[in-house]
Amino acid sequence: MTSTNPILGRDVYLALAAVGWADGRLTREAADAIVRTALEEGLELDDVAAIEEATKEPVELGEIDRMKMSKADRLYVYAVASWIATLDGSLSARSKDALAKLGDALGIPQTPRERADEIMREVSARADRPDRFDLLSLRRTLDERLREARRMRIEQTLQRITEKPPKANEES
């Protein structure tokens, strides 16, 4: 996780819990993943305690401070929320709405949301236990795909710049 912020804020994990609760039930696996990820990110114990409480009782999606979040951070949070929302095998209308609100709050356009969902499903399919989703693999895969997309955009831009338009006297 070296290319992104090492610590996502408490508000991000509360938002993940809110998405999980959107259909009225947060699975034990999702609650564990939210708390585990907050611990792995290095949040303060008081913050982790508040996040753990949010996994026990429904919470609403609140404000998310995305100012210090990279594009990779925002896509990662969205992909984790997408996984949490589908952990029980389906995506309810309320969960879909909560994901849309989270995507809006994170400032993620529709196409990158769809790509993040694809990557989440790809990583999930690799897991030997879906309830123990490989969050590190998700983060690495998102980072790799973002780097590759950026590299391709740079190459395309350079190619357009180096292509010379035909001169007026060279027209056929």
115-155 confidence digits (pLDDT tens): 888 888 888 777 665 445 677 778 888 888 888 988 998 99
* Mean pLDDT rounded to a whole number for the chain: 82
pLDDT number for residue 6: 45
pLDDT number for residue 109: 95
Average pLDDT over residues 12-28: 87
Domain assignment of residue 27, given as a range: 10-160
- Tell whether 171 is covered by a domain: no
The CA angle 57-52-29, to the nearest 5 degrees, is 85
- Tell whether 28 is covered by a domain: yes
- Tell whether 2 is covered by a domain: no
Number of structural domains the chain divides into: 1
The domain spanning residue 42 has which CATH number? 1.10.3680
Whether the predicted pLDDT of 2 surpasses 60: no
- Tell whether 127 is covered by a domain: yes
- Tell whether 170 is covered by a domain: no
- Tell whether 140 is covered by a domain: yes
More confident residue, 98 or 167: 98
As a whole number of angstroms, the distance between CA 126 and CA 62 comes to 32
- Tell whether 165 is covered by a domain: no
Whether the predicted pLDDT of 170 surpasses 60: no
- Tell whether 71 is covered by a domain: yes
Average pLDDT over residues 84-98: 83
Whether the predicted pLDDT of 162 surpasses 80: yes
